[in-house]
Chains A and B, each alone.
Chain A
Amino acid sequence: MSRRTSPVIPGFGLTLGYTLVYLSLLVLIPLGAMFVHAAQLTWAEFWAIISAPRVLAALKLSFATAFAAAVINGIIGTLLAWTLVRYTFPGRKVIEAMIDLPFALPTAVAGIALTALYAPSGLVGQFATDLGFKIAYTPIGITLALTFVTLPFVVRTIQPVLADIPREVEEAAACLGAKPLQVFRHVLLPALLPAWLTGFSLAFARGVGEYGSVIFIAGNMPMKTEILPLLIMVKLDQYDYTGATAIGVLMLVVSFILLLLINLLQRQIAKS
């Protein structure tokens, strides 16, 4: 199709070839190797590994905390993006730069710092202790670490979209008698939602696989605060490569299905 309309910049064959090679080397071959390795297992063996109670507990924990972190960032991230786009105030540039820091920091450093802060004797953690609950070494701590690591996703995806919506649109809606909440609900939200979903799913996917920052704050108690990537490491430490790839495949499949669903939802929204 693109051939017939003859695009301004030529080179479809070259760029597509490059794309395929690039994706193959980086994504397809490594992931394919994992599937091939896992294929050494029979169905029964594979099923026995992924249906072990500890694996299921970790599966629930990993996806639930990643989801919670994505939701938190979905809300707070929108707020942050709103503040940065709609207002000018001293220090805005500094905050703007700070948003990306969680990407630059080695995740282990983040994990150790958060643990020190939120451990029962830590600067913030001691208040939680006074109130009778714990942050570090519980699923709350894991969610916290994931929220930190995935902070930039939602902010960065909806910021440009928000900046593109002219203020006049909101003013027009207000002139037509819409209340602030109605402006948000009927004018801003539909425009933002696709980008928001992209940010949400990026944060979610990143959270599911996160290892470095979580292991320090998780406490790693079997059945309670063990994340799936840790179980993969445990299997590797037993030189059980196939068992590790089985869990890897499980994570990949579940993530893929969830991301696919989000994608479908996005398309549905775009249609309406």
Chain B
Amino acid sequence: MSIRRFALAALASAIFAGPVAAAETLLNVSYDPTRELYSEFNAAFNKHWQAQGNEAITIQQSHGGSGKQARAVIDGLRADVVTLALAGDIDELYKLGKLIPENWQERLPQSSTPYTSTIVFLVRKGNPEGIKDWDDLVKPGVEVITPNPKTSGGARWNFLAAWAYAQQKYGSEEKAQEFVEKLYKNVPVLDTGARGSTITFVNNQIGDVLLAWENEAFLALKEEGGDNFEIVAPSLSILAEPPVAVVDENVDKKGTRKVAEAYLNYLYSDEGQRLAAKHFYRPRNQAIAGEFAKQFPELKLVTIDKDFNGWKTAQPKFFNDGGVFDQIYQAQ
């Protein structure tokens, strides 16, 4: 444990050692697709923070796979706040590291999730395979690209969305398992992360449909100009809730609790919500969601808490060793 902690501390200091600044610093440890959102949000927050009569602060951001980021914090990376892909990863900060209290998710509005996203399909221009809904993904010959849910937080949302659809449409867990089994038979490559899958689909031209975060899909479209791909919204998907939390243990040691809490609260402000929407996350604030209504297709959404009894139940049942996902591949 201590060796790992030492190694990570050394790594972290190598990455974050800048010129020693007198100003306070805040480290936001986040997951991959929020890079653009937080670089804009950090500047906005800093302005707001100074307008309230405070000293300017230096905000550092770190991005990577959600699970790896959580592990880095557990192993000693001094994050003031974490903004990760799923509550299950932040739960581990309590379970393994005792860095936050068990009820962390009750401390901020809407289960500590200031913005949400969902899972949509990205298909090639003109939708040559005529993909409209989940049923089209299990047709023979259709190639589906999605990362490995054992190593990717985003992929777990994909899996659960497919499961929820099949369970509602075909009425039982057995049918749902058959459905996802068929779906994963159509997956030729299981990348380890969401960005890897995007590379496989967009750059290497593998597959007919990519299961993606809505915000990632929009970002991909924006970057390539909409010439090669289009977004298809399925009839039902899952409300992906990437939550945020102050890391109590670290802010109390560093004396940054006040600014860390203000930082997360600002995500719920009108400006924070607008920035989230600008970067293709669905804002929680209904008035602001209304302003961006045209941008987001309307979908029927299931939630992890209501339909899957939360991550504490879903993670071991579906994704841990011997879970449903493993059974799919043992059966083949």
Interface check A24, CB cutoff 8 A: no
Contacts of B190 in A (CB 8 A): 219-222
Contacts of A235 in B (CB 8 A): 321
Q: Mark B291-332, 1 if CB is under 8 A from A, else 0.
A: 000000000000000000000000000011100001001101
Chain B stretch 180-209: residues in CB contact (< 8 A) with chain A = 188-192, 196, 199-200, 203-206
CB distance from B182 to the nearest CB of A (A): 16
Of all chain A residues, which has the CB nearest B66?
A237
Number of interface residues, chain A, beta carbon within 8 A: 32
Of all chain B residues, which has the CB nearest A218?
B189
- Of the candidates B65, B151, B204, the one whose C-beta lies within 8 Å of that of A122 is B204
Contact A223 B332 (CB under 8 A): yes
Contacts of B169 in A (CB 8 A): none
Contact B92 A239 (CB under 8 A): yes
- Of the candidates B68, B189, B203, B326, the one whose C-beta lies within 8 Å of that of A137 is B189
Interface check A208, CB cutoff 8 A: no
Chain A stretch 1-45: residues in CB contact (< 8 A) with chain B = 29-30, 33
Given contacts A220-B148, A223-B329, A237-B67, contact A121 B205 (CB under 8 A): yes
Given contacts A116-B203, A119-B204, contact A238 B188 (CB under 8 A): no
**Interchain CA distance A243-B321 in the complex, whole Å:** 10
**Interchain CA distance A50-B55 in the complex, whole Å:** 55
Contacts of B191 in A (CB 8 A): 215-216, 220
Interface check A234, CB cutoff 8 A: yes
Interface check B35, CB cutoff 8 A: no
Contacts of A150 in B (CB 8 A): none
Interface check A56, CB cutoff 8 A: no
Contact B192 A215 (CB under 8 A): yes
CB distance from A240 to the nearest CB of B (A): 7
- Of the candidates A29, A52, A237, the one whose C-beta lies within 8 Å of that of B68 is A237
Of all chain B residues, which has the CB nearest A236?
B71
Contacts of A147 in B (CB 8 A): none
Of all chain A residues, which has the CB nearest B91?
A239
CB distance from B123 to the nearest CB of A (A): 16
Contact A119 B205 (CB under 8 A): yes
- Of the candidates B204, B320, B321, the one whose C-beta lies within 8 Å of that of A115 is B204
Chain A stretch 193-239: residues in CB contact (< 8 A) with chain B = 215-216, 219-223, 230, 233-239
Contacts of A121 in B (CB 8 A): 204-206
Contact A137 B67 (CB under 8 A): no
CB distance from B69 to the nearest CB of A (A): 11
Contact B330 A53 (CB under 8 A): yes
- Of the candidates A112, A221, A240, the one whose C-beta lies within 8 Å of that of B199 is A112
Interface check B63, CB cutoff 8 A: no
Of all chain A residues, which has the CB nearest B325?
A222
Given contacts A119-B205, A121-B204, A220-B191, contact A240 B96 (CB under 8 A): no
From B74, B200, B204, B319, residue with most partner A Cβ within 10 Å = B204
**Interchain CA distance A244-B330 in the complex, whole Å:** 20
Q: Mark A50-64, 1 if CB is under 8 A from B, else 0.
A: 001110000000000
Contact A238 B150 (CB under 8 A): yes
Of all chain A residues, which has the CB nearest B196?
A216
Of all chain A residues, which has the CB nearest B92?
A239
CB distance from A29 to the nearest CB of B (A): 7
Interface check A120, CB cutoff 8 A: yes
Interface check B3, CB cutoff 8 A: yes
Contact A219 B321 (CB under 8 A): no
CB distance from A200 to the nearest CB of B (A): 30
**Interchain CA distance A239-B200 in the complex, whole Å:** 27
From A52, A120, A219, A236, residue with most partner B Cβ within 10 Å = A219
Chain A stretch 66-103: residues in CB contact (< 8 A) with chain B = none
Contact A233 B151 (CB under 8 A): yes
Q: Mark B60-79, 1 if CB is under 8 A from A, else 0.
A: 00000101100100100000
Contacts of B68 in A (CB 8 A): 236-237
- Of the candidates A30, A220, A230, the one whose C-beta lies within 8 Å of that of B189 is A220
Contact A33 B3 (CB under 8 A): yes
Of all chain B residues, which has the CB nearest A233?
B151
Contacts of B329 in A (CB 8 A): 54, 221-223
Contacts of B92 in A (CB 8 A): 239
**Interchain CA distance A185-B203 in the complex, whole Å:** 48
- Of the candidates A116, A136, A234, the one whose C-beta lies within 8 Å of that of B151 is A234
Contacts of A239 in B (CB 8 A): 67, 71, 74, 92, 95-96
A-B contact pairs, 11 of them (CB 8 A): A29-B3, A115-B200, A215-B191, A216-B191, A216-B196, A222-B190, A234-B148, A237-B67, A237-B150, A239-B67, A243-B321
